[in-house]
Each structure stands twice: as structure tokens, then as C-alpha cells.
Chains A and B, each alone.
Chain A
Amino acid sequence: MFFFCMLPAIQNEIGADIAPLVDEALLPRIAEGDRDAFAAFYAQTDRAVFGFALSILKNRQDAEDIMQDTYIRVLDAAASYQPRGKPMAWVLAITRNLARMRLRSLNRSQPAEPEELEAISPLLDGEALATDDRLTLQTALAVLGEEERQIVILHAVSGMKHREIAQLLELPLPTALSKYARALAKLKKILNGGSQP
């Protein structure tokens, strides 16, 4: 009990790099129309939802649309949520389905290719965005393969374990782990070496 009360405080202290815990108990309240519960759930999941959508679609506008659709779906579907201790995996599965549908309707099995990197750049123009952070995200979107991107971004922002990520992406765990390792090695090489392949 005491331990759980401490957690939020610890998180604030460490900073924003820890994904917040998602409170499963919010979902039944959302189903009853409780707006505060929805706002809290939104705050706990928005970065992961947007990041995941972006990692699939590689386009800011599409990712934002899917994010919006995801939460509308959450409002409609909260009543059918089955508490299994995985609210994050649940909301991200919604995002995954919507994003994949969007990809299909865009009639491209593959998301934007590197030449569309230009289209991503505006999202990274924010002055406040520290150069290093910006470069890292930009590089990840540009050089990683589709699944590598999704795995790395999910691991960075969703707070989910590799096993859950593998499940969400419908990959065998060893595949997810080796893709993760390969992706980070690639990023390290580029970011430390300072040159793009």
C-alpha cells in the first residue's frame, strides 16, 4: 500500500523518461461517463499512443488522426474492457488496429519511405526540442525498419516489457528481442559515429 503511494512521487523526481503506470480502475469509470477518469487515462497513455502510431505510420498528421480515433474508441469500448492487468496493451492494440487499417486504406503496405523524411521534419522543428532528442527520434524514424521502429519506440515510452511488446506486434519473443538489440546497435552506431549510412 505504502509502496504504491510512493510511486508517483518517485516518478516525478526521476523525470519524464519513465512511462506512467496505467490505472486499470479508470476504465470502468470511463465507461460510466466519468470525464476526470478519462482525462487521467489519457494523460497516462498519450505519449505511447502517439509514439506507436507515429512508428507505424511515419507521418505526424496520420499519427495524430489515429491518436484521436483511438481515444474516441476508448470512450466507446471502455465498457467492454476486461480487466486483465493490461490496460496499456489494450489501448495500444486499438491503436495498432486503427493504424494498420489506415495503412491499408492508404493502399500502401509499407509506410512512408525515407524520401518522405522531409514530411516528418516539420514535426521536429519545435525550438524547445533539444537537439539530441530531436536527432535521436528523427534517426530512429529514418533508419530503422518498420518493426524495429515499433519495438524501440514502444519500449521507450509504453512501459511495456518485451514480452508484451512481442505479443502486441504478434512477433515471437526472440525475434522481438533480436530486432530490439539490432535496432539499438544501429542507432548507437549512427548517433555515436555521427554519420548516416
Chain B
Amino acid sequence: MNNRDIEKRLSRALRRETPDVLSRVLSAHEQEEKIVELNQVQPTIKKKRRWPIWAASAAAALVLTAGAAWGLTGAYGTDSLISIDVNPSIELATNRYEKVLRVTALNDDANQILDGMDLKGTDLHVAINALIGSMVKNGYIDDIRNSVLVSVDSKNTSRAAALQDELAADIQQALESSAISAAVLKQSVQEDDALRSLAEQYGISSGKAALIQQLSQQDPTLNLEDLAAMNINDLSLLALAKDPDLQGTVSGTVSDKAYIGLDRAREIALAKQPGGTIKEISFDFEDGRAVYEGELLHNGREYEFDIDAVSGDILKWKDDGPMDTDDQPLLDDSSYIGLEKAKTIVLERLPGAQVLELKLDRDDGRVIYEGEMITDSLEVDFEVDAVSGNIVKWDEEARRGQVTQQTQSPSADPTYLSMEDIRSIVLTKVPGGTIKELEFDYDDGMAIYEGEVLQGRQEVDFEIDAVTGDILKWEVDND
């Protein structure tokens, strides 16, 4: 019995065993849609007792609105998609009468929030009130984490902007009654395929996806996966640190009570180097950890530091060397090779990379261009001697969470393995071997790669199935 026989047997066994769920799927799906319609006529609130206040107001609102929504054109069409993110992520679809058509829990936390609530058919504002109340009750919003992201996706942009403001007001009001002063981050989102797939990849709302996409565009060293895992409070702090202009889209003040705060971080840095001056300090995330990073000047030297935002521990304290008080020459690079030349030098070393940062600086008395560049898979910190143009530092690091780029198949047909794939198969078999020849060929109509690899002193002729990667021939040539 060969591989193919075994696979045939498995395939036949599974064909017989695969259940037929087609009709169940279709009726389950239909049911989902019917529920939406039904609820507009006869809204029901389940488990009333668990939601005394919100449920009662929701029920009252429904009595008033149920009749109105029924029978009007446009009642079933989705007008706006609204997502509310705290850590629970919930998406609401509404019609143009602001009735909730569908509520979707996008993560486990959201399931907990929605448990027992049936908001279909309710007024949007009532629904938001109920959701926010439940989030407070379940401990997702408090003084420490007081931020809520509201994203509105609507074809009508002026409508989207108005809705955002209304909802922000609703949320602040709801939280006020729990004595929490909320911060609401508002945004309009136009969902497209890229955003949708980003959202699906990480199981987050398209609103949160839009926010992290924006953040990672602003600072490409931020990792999407880390960002996706962060709660809205942290994301808001980070977004505001990266782009202070965003303050305009936030109602209220984002709480940093979970962290030691900028003032305390300043104190810690100054305690380490008494008499110093803080040149800059800001909130950031390094490797998923919240930090305050900054620069301090003391006695003509410059120090770079990172302080853990939770514990206040100094994670990094780097002496960047003397900083001449009369360091005018640094601003004028005419005596040096120049920014453009420095850029050319590093790009020669790593073609196609994107230079994110490049500046003239001093390091231990030597004038250098220091900077950072990235490719899809690498992050490089470099320093170029500003006089000689020599690269004096080159630290390559793999970018975490990045999908390694797919190698292109030499043949246009994607069903074939690429040359690179074949190389790795051969080199797995002959570690350290040298591939002398490798070419794509057809052998009796079968696509193969054939080649030669040097194994020590021996030459091996091989053929590999271009589809399965099976080694078809492996012959040691003893000549």
C-alpha cells in the first residue's frame, strides 16, 4: 500500500462520514434574519430581572417605537454600523430610524456583556445605555480604565459625525450616573476589505482595527498584534502620545491612573540623575510593555531612558555621550557627508528598506548619523560615521508578528513549489550542502525540479516532485 492508497481510503471514509448540515445551516441563517424582523414587531426582553434599570427603560422605549418601525420602507436596511470598544467589542447595525437591527459580540468579553440582553429592535440610544451600564457592572469601565471607542460607519458622512457626538454624549451621561468621568474617542470608519480582514484576523471590531491601523502607520515599529491585544484605554493613551492633535476627537480625559503618570516618571528620572533636565518624555509601548521614554540632559551629557509605566522601574538608562553645549555644528552638516549620502549608504546595505529615522548625533565624541530602518521582516538600528561614511553600528532584528514574505514561484503556476521551497527541502536533507544546479522540468508530463547538490565530496543528483515535494530520485554520483 502506498501513500496514494492511504489517502484514497481516508478520502472515501470521510466522504461517507461527512454529515449533511446544509439544510440546518440554511435554516439557522434564515432564523437569524427572521429574529431581526420579528423583534421589530414583538420585541422581547429576556431575563428581565438581571437588567432591572436598563431593561425596563428599553422595554418602555420599545412599546413606543415598535409600531413606528414596522411597515416603513428602510426599516430593515442597515443604515449605520456602530462599534463600541472598551475591551468588550460590540457591533450594532441600525436602520435609519436608529433602531438596532443586529448586535454582534466580537469577543468573549462582549459575550459576557450581552449575556441575556436582547437589544434587537430597541432604540440605539437605549441600547448604548444598556451596554455601557453592563460594562460598568462587569468591571470593564472604571476610573482607571475610563475610555470608550465609538466608531460609526455610515454612507452619510454628516450623519456619521452627528451620531458620534450623540453617542459620546449618551456614554458620558451613562457613566456620569456611575460617578465615572469617561473619555470617548470618536471616529468615522469606512470599512473596506483591508480593514475587514484586519478585524477578522484579530477578532476585533473594524473600529478598533481602524485605530490600530492608523497607529501603526504613524509608527511602523508598533506591532499590529500587540496593538490588537491592547484595551482601548491603553490605545487611547498611546494614540494621544503619538499624535497630540487627536485630542480634538476625544471627549473627556483619558485616564492614566493605571500608570505612574508623566510627573512621577519625571521624578524617577531626575532622582537617577539629580540636577538633570528632562529634554523630552512621552508615553509609549515597547515590546507590549507600557513605558515612559525620554531624554535627559546633565552636565553636557545626554541620557536616554525607558521607565516601566506600571512599576516605575528604570528599564533602560543609556549614556548617549557628551552633548556639546555649543553643538551648532550638529545642526549644520556641511562638514559631514550629509543626510542624503548617509541614507544612500544604508540603503546600499539593505536595498528596498524604508528609513524611518535619520539624524545627526554625537556618540562618545564621534559625530554620526543614527537612524532606524525597516523592511517587511527586519528592523535595523544603524549608525554611520558622519565623516568617513563607514557603518559603525548595524543591529538587525526580526520584526515580531510579521508574516514572512512568500517567496515567488519561478513558474507562474502557484500550484508548484518554488525554487526556494526546493532548496529548503534539499538542504534539510543535506545540512550545509551546496546546491550546484536546480531547474524546473517536465518528466513524462510530471512537473519536477531536478538538480545536483554537493554533499561533502559526493555529488548527488536529485529529482523532486514540484507539486508534493516528494523526493523522486536521490542518487549519489561516485565519479
Contact = CB atoms under 8 A, between A and B. Distances in A.
Interface string B424-452: 11001000000000000000000000000
Nearest to A158: B11
A140 interface: yes
A67 B425 CA distance: 34
Interface in B327-358: none
Interface in B421-479: 421, 424-425, 428, 467-470
A99 interface: no
A133 B21 contact: no
How many residues of B sit at the interface, in one of the four size bands?
A: 35 or more
B421 A163 contact: yes
Nearest to A173: B421
Contact of A188 (B1, B415, B418, B425): B1
B34 interface: no
Interface string A129-167: 110111011001000000000001101110001110000
Given A71-B21, A72-B25, A188-B6, A130 B12 contact: yes
Nearest to B30: A75
B49 interface: no
Given A82-B193, A161-B467, A188-B6, A68 B1 contact: no
Given A173-B469, A174-B428, A177-B469, A17 B12 contact: yes
A123 B16 CA distance: 10
A133 B12 contact: yes
Contact of A126 (B9, B16, B467): B16
A162 B469 contact: yes
Interface in A119-133: 123-124, 126, 128-130, 132-133
B425 A174 contact: yes
A191 B17 CA distance: 20
Contacts of B9: 132-133, 136-137
Interface of B: 1-3, 6-22, 24-26, 28-29, 193, 196-197, 200, 414-415, 417-418, 421, 424-425, 428, 467-470
Given A71-B21, A137-B14, 6 more contacts: A16-B11, A39-B22, A51-B10, A67-B21, A162-B469, A173-B421
Top 3 A-B residue pairs of the complex, sorted by shortest distance between their CB atoms: A137-B13, A156-B7, A133-B13
Interface of A: 16-17, 19, 35, 38-39, 42, 46-47, 50-51, 54, 60, 64, 67-68, 71-72, 75-77, 80, 82, 85, 123-124, 126, 128-130, 132-134, 136-137, 140, 152-153, 155-157, 161-163, 172-174, 177-178, 181, 184, 187-188, 191-192
